[in-house]
A and B are shown apart, each in its own frame.
Chain A
Amino acid sequence: MSPVVHMMLFQCINFGKEILQEMDGFWQALGRAVGLIVGGDAELIGIVGLSLRVSLGAVAVACLIGLPLGAAVGAFRFPGRAAASVVLNALMGLPPVVVGLVVYLMLSAAGPFGVLGLLYTPAAMTIAQTILVAPIVAALTRQVVEDLDREYAEQFASLGVGPLRRLTALLWDARYALLTVALAGFGRAVAEVGAVMIVGGNIAHATRTMTTAIALETSKGNLELALALGVVLVAIAVAVTGAAMTLRASAARLAYA
């Protein structure tokens, strides 16, 4: 065997050993992460709890804004309606860091709302996530309501249904589809990292969410907590998708879809 081939073989064996060691480290970290979840680690629970509070609050406010707004654009004909639809669709893709930056500037001491003292609080994070989620809720609601209105329009016109009753009826009859819209908004909010990092500051026990904690703990090399939070985040995503599918299936079964 030539010295060159010998050296190459030696390098390959070493590389393989490194991979095995790293895999070993991953499984060990994952095991410890599961231990944190099963053991109900206080820090983990605190972070998950804050994430859920912020994201659920943001989705609730986003629904209060987005549902009637989207329904109005979907159900009524008015000048600029097409432009409003385009804007709503475009806003669905708002970059979180840009939203975070704008909210930061609004809430910073020099900003117009600085006097409220909201920067680096969960309220600021809720505001940022609301701005991200509201267009998603509004744009998807517009589509759902527009489709339903196409089906109902002649019957409503025949019955002489007024604008307010029409709007509320469309929202109510689209309730199952709109619940999945809200769940989609929640998925976006809970997985978001850029905006909450900027306006929340990732302060331990105050504004640290699952996503910001994962970013921080990974950079510190604390893989157990990062992985544990990752597992919880994925579990939430799976639960949200499962809930959406179950809702859709039960609505279809009852002919309410």
Chain B
Amino acid sequence: MPETALLSARGLAFEAGGGRPVDGVDIDVRAGASVAVMGANGAGKSLLLRLLHGLIAPAAGEVRWRGGPLDRAARRAQAMVFQRPVMLRRSVGANLRFALAARGIAGAERAARQEEAVERARLRGLAHRPARVLSAGEQQRLAVARALACAPELLLLDEPTASLDPASTQAVEALIREARESGVATVTVTHDAGQARRLADELVFLDAGRVAEAGSTAQVLDAPRSEPARAWLEGRLHVGAAR
């Protein structure tokens, strides 16, 4: 395990329906790194993200945070943005306050971070509006800003721009890039090779729950060594072994 690894997974597996949709995955995320996770539908990308965040327990293998266990404190150093943003039935401001309160942030600091998040998400003037009446793009911006307000060291993003229009995608990607520039490590699950190039320096390509290929984003996308990655990039169907 590299000394600088923020998060490290070894032999990670998850069992469901008698199979292993994630099977023996090794992955390292260094502090400040930006990693994209790609693969065909059903490759295990979203499950892998949930395993890394500790939302589900692995059947085998382990996830370590700075060399230690992935405990409550470690999970609090991470934040996750889901494909469909989960908005509480409250105002924009109340959604931010709730997340900050859950992370133990109170008083003037909470107010300051809320204000900063509203600015960051470009939702000034909408702080009192019910979050669920915002457009899909605005909701996802709020979800990313809410996650960043918790000051995570690692931001996990599960297809954060799926089903968003190009303008909304651009706005969400701008937030993610800002986070990267401020030193937050990111792991982004995406189906979009262009987005992987824009947001990640490293790429892990999954096939049927296993790592088919990993390396720099440019190398994997421009000169893939594995058949699953080549097939995917060339638009051919590749059916991996059933697990």
The interface residues of chain A lying within 8 Å CB-to-CB of B130 are 254-256
Q: Interface centre among A161, A162, A165, A256, by most B CB within 10 Å?
A: A256
Instruction: Give A63 Cβ to nearest chain B Cβ, in Å.
Output: 19
- B72: which of A152, A155, A156, A160 is its contact (CB, 8 Å)? A160
Is B238 close to A, CB under 8 A? no
Docked pose: A160 CA to B99 CA in angstroms: 9
A-B CB proximity, top 10 nearest: A255-B132, A155-B86, A159-B102, A173-B89, A158-B80, A256-B89, A255-B133, A161-B102, A255-B130, A254-B130
> Are A160 and B132 interface neighbours, CB within 8 A?
no
> Are A158 and B53 interface neighbours, CB within 8 A?
yes
Among B45-62, those with CB < 8 Å from A are 50, 53, 55
21 contacts between A and B (CB under 8 A): A152-B88, A154-B50, A154-B55, A154-B82, A155-B82, A155-B86, A158-B75, A159-B98, A159-B102, A159-B103, A160-B72, A160-B75, A161-B102, A162-B102, A169-B88, A169-B98, A255-B89, A255-B131, A255-B133, A256-B90, A256-B130
The interface residues of chain A lying within 8 Å CB-to-CB of B132 are 255-256
Is B101 close to A, CB under 8 A? yes
The interface residues of chain B lying within 8 Å CB-to-CB of A19 are none
Q: What residue in chain A is nearest B76 (Cβ atoms)?
A: A160
> Are B76 and A152 interface neighbours, CB within 8 A?
no
Q: 16 other contacts beyond A154-B80, A158-B55, with CB at 8 A cut-off?
A: A155-B82, A155-B86, A158-B53, A159-B98, A159-B99, A159-B102, A159-B150, A160-B103, A162-B102, A165-B101, A173-B89, A174-B89, A254-B130, A254-B133, A255-B133, A256-B130
Instruction: Give B77 Cβ to nearest chain A Cβ, in Å.
Output: 10
Docked pose: A161 CA to B86 CA in angstroms: 14
What DSSP secondary structure best describes chain A's contact surface? Answer: helix
Instruction: Give A189 Cβ to nearest chain B Cβ, in Å.
Output: 28
**Known contacts A159-B99, A160-B102, A254-B133, A151 near B72 by CB under 8 Å:** no
Docked pose: A172 CA to B130 CA in angstroms: 14
Is A157 close to B, CB under 8 A? yes
Docked pose: A151 CA to B98 CA in angstroms: 16
Number of A-B contacts (CB under 8 A): 51
Instruction: Give A101 Cβ to nearest chain B Cβ, in Å.
Output: 42
Total interface residues in chain A, CB < 8 Å: 20
Docked pose: A155 CA to B85 CA in angstroms: 9
Hey, what's the 0/1 contact readout for B78-108 against A, CB within 8 Å counting as 1? 1110100010111000000011011100000
- B79: which of A158, A169, A256 is its contact (CB, 8 Å)? A158
Among B129-177, those with CB < 8 Å from A are 130-133, 150
Q: What residue in chain A is nearest B79 (Cβ atoms)?
A: A158
The interface residues of chain B lying within 8 Å CB-to-CB of A157 are 55
The interface residues of chain A lying within 8 Å CB-to-CB of B90 are 172-173, 256
The interface residues of chain A lying within 8 Å CB-to-CB of B50 are 154
Docked pose: A156 CA to B79 CA in angstroms: 11
Hey, what's the 0/1 contact readout for A140-157 against B, CB within 8 Å counting as 1? 000000000001101111
Instruction: Give A169 Cβ to nearest chain B Cβ, in Å.
Output: 7
Instruction: Give A105 Cβ to nearest chain B Cβ, in Å.
Output: 44
